[in-house]
Amino acid sequence: MTKTTILAVDDDRAVLASVERDLRQKYGRDYRIVKAESGAAALDVINELKRRSETVALFVVDQRMPQMTGVEFLERANGVFPDARKVLLTAYADTEAAISAINDVDLDYYLMKPWDPPHEHLYPVLDGLLDDWRSNVRLPFEGIRVVGAMWSSASHEIKDFLARSSIPYRWLDVERDEEARRLMAAHAGDTLEVPLLLFPDGEVLVQPTSQEVAEKAGLRTRAENPFYDVIIVGSGPAGLSAAVYASADGLKVLVVEQHAPGGQAGNSPKIENFLGFPSGISGGDLTRRAVTQAKRFGAEVLTAQSVEGLRVEGNTKIVTLGDGSEVSAKMVLISTGAWFRLLELSGIEKWNGAGVYYGAAHTEAANYKDTDVVVVGAANSAAQGMLFLSKYARKVTVLIRGSEPTWSKYLDVAIRANEKIDLVFNTELLEISGDQQIEAVSVKNKQSGESTVLPAKAAFVFIGQKPQSDFLGDLVMRTASGHILTGLDLVTSGERPPGWELDRDPLLLETSVPGVFAGGDVRNGTKHGVAAATGDGNAAVSNFWQYLSTI
């Protein structure tokens, strides 16, 4: 099989030789290392590779080259191999150019010369980038085929589950694709039972649940043991962070996730405000890294398995899972986050997951190429969603209830510069209409009362977040909105919560039940966001140790 290429470009022969040597030493077995002494020579190389239908995984390019700078080369290379990861080699004086290249050419990293020793400064960066590339690139397809339809919310759910679990799949739409119709006829007869999943070993699943798909794909859905030190419910940033720190500390950890890992963050096309990632990181990549890290330290991660109930017997916490089984632990962390409420419009059920999507819905964006779509919402999540959708859609109309958006400045700058995005203020969504698929939405201006009909093929909704805590019933104290109270929120006028028998106040993240903790967006009073959630995950682990020292 032809090896994928890593291309090094530098006009300084000595530097180029040393880049080549370092690359060959670590990556020579799996990749073909190619070098070029100028931007022009490098363009010849990539055009030839393209002609031969080969792929480039990574460009390592010097910024200071006489005829064509590194950034200029990367700009042109982007048109040929847009998925390749891009590293710019810079001198201290080129830092400004490198930082602006993050936006201009989607630069992944800039590396200050010299980078010795490579195992400290070069390889960790390149390992991460090659890992990301491998997970996102579309290589010749050997994986699962999903035959489905745009009007089927079950198809959307399965695609979302596969994508979020980093399982490659190929989407075949029965309404657009001849091969899809042929496969349907062969495996499902005249029925329109979609989705149909065809696995490389020949097995076909018709309308499977996420759990069936997870099991077939080799993901863990059942706990190995009956008893753990801590069970973490939910694997967004809060749960995964707690899993990493707790298992690194030697605790026996079980993470239970109802869907695929990542939570809301897993829906983010690009998280740009998380410390240490100046070029941003996609929620998918962040999740994959965190899950790998947690597993490496020994945490068990179940997917497609929900927690349906929690009860306490003495010091033991017993968790009931969606398949009816039970698992116990000394402690439980609730990190179930929040999700968007379904729109309350007449006839909306027909469209949920089949034209109306909640969250960024990466998997669907490409299906709306060159069409008009609407986005509902004005917070950071909506901002990221519209920027992502604008890569595909012809026009993105954004319905904003108030007169100002609440998204961050860095997103505002990108949105205002984007010609495809149209912001409509003081407006609410009234109705969604269409026959087999959405054709239009009716909106109303709240100030003038005037209604308008806008053409739209899909609506992406980012409003009405609700904490996911209903499965707890009355076990722990919650606010009217469903956020879980912890720590000193539970102590009013020196009074500890009803039923609290310990001779101490609840710990920072402890709920009204000793040994049951809450962190991240589901907890009352947190600042929503990835950093706050991962911070809670870390703080929860120090609370675990404090709690363990008292029982």
Ligand X SMILES: Cc1cc2nc3c(=O)[nH]c(=O)nc-3n(C[C@H](O)[C@H](O)[C@H](O)COP(=O)(O)OP(=O)(O)OC[C@H]3O[C@@H](n4cnc5c(N)ncnc54)[C@H](O)[C@@H]3O)c2cc1C
Cα gap 490→430, rounded to integer Å: 40
Per-residue interface string for the shown chain with ligand X, residues 305-324, x marking contact by CB under 6 A: -xx-----------------
Which residues are CB-contacts of 337 (< 8 A; sequence separation ≥ 6)?
A: 234, 236, 238, 263, 264, 467, 468, 520, 521, 522, 533
Choose, by CB under 6 A, the member of 239, 377, 514, 515 that binds ligand X. 239
User: Which residue from 63, 69, 221, 264 is in contact with ligand X, where contact means CB under 6 A?
Assistant: 264
Among 337, 377, 506, 514, which residue interacts with ligand X (rule: CB under 6 A)?
337
The residues in 358-377 that bind ligand X, with binding defined as CB under 6 A, are 359-360
Q: How far is the CB of 490 from ligand X (least distance, A)?
A: 19
- Within residues 487-526, the interface with ligand X by CB under 6 A covers 520-522
Residue placing its CB nearer to ligand X in the complex, 46 or 240: 240
Give 46 or 530: the residue with its C-beta nearer to ligand X.
530
CB of 359 to ligand X, least distance (A): 5
529-548 residues in contact with ligand X (CB under 6 A) are 529-531, 533
Beta strand pairing call for 307-313 and 316-321: antiparallel
| Cβ contact 149:367 at 8 Å | no
- Compute the distance between CA of residue 380 and CA of residue 411 in angstroms, rounded to an integer: 8
Nearest to 210 by CA among 255, 245, 161, 274: 161
Q: Please identify, among the stretches 37-45, 62-70, 186-194, 256-264, the one whose residues bind ligand X according to the rule CB under 6 A.
A: 256-264
**Shortest reach from residue 379's CB to ligand X, in Å:** 8
Of residues 69 and 384, the one with the C-beta less far from ligand X: 384
Residue appearing with tokens 């002494």:
37
Contact status: 405 vs ligand X (CB under 6 A):
no
DSSP 520: G
Extract the tokens encoding 393. 């859609």
Closest of 184, 126, 121, 135 to residue 155, by C-alpha: 184
Three-state SS letters, 448-509: CCCEEEEECCEEEECCCEEECCHHHCCCCCECCCCCECCHHHHCECCECCCCCCCCCCCCCC
Of the pair 209, 442, the CB lying nearest ligand X is at 209
Q: Which parts of 72-131 interact with ligand X (CB under 6 A)?
A: none
Query: Using CB under 6 A, which of the segments 116-124, 197-205, 233-241, 293-301 binds ligand X?
Result: 233-241
- Asked if 333 contacts 232 with a C-beta cutoff of 8 angstroms, the reply is yes
Q: What are phi and psi of 43, to 5 degrees?
A: -65, -40
| Cβ nearer to ligand X, comparing 55 with 336 | 336
What is the per-residue DSSP string for 82-137? TTSEEEEEE-GGGHHHHHHHHHHS---EEEESP--SHHHHTHHHHHHHHHHHHHH-
Q: What does the alpha-carbon distance between residue 400 and residue 514 come to, in Å, rounded to a whole number?
A: 42
Q: How many residues bind ligand X (CB under 6 A)?
A: 41
Stretch that binds ligand X, among 16-24, 253-261, 292-300, 427-435 (CB under 6 A): 253-261
- Contact region for ligand X (CB under 6 A) — 334-342, 446-454, 508-516, 542-550? 334-342
Give the list of residues 6+ apart from residue 419 with CB closer than 8 angstroms, or none.
none
Q: Which of 18, 165, 363, 380 is close enough to bind ligand X by CB under 6 A?
A: 380
Please report how close the Cβ of residue 336 comes to ligand X at its closest, in angstroms.
Answer: 3
Sites of contact with ligand X (CB under 6 A): 233-239, 256-259, 263-265, 267-268, 271-273, 306-307, 335-338, 359-360, 380-381, 384-385, 468, 471, 520-522, 528-531, 533
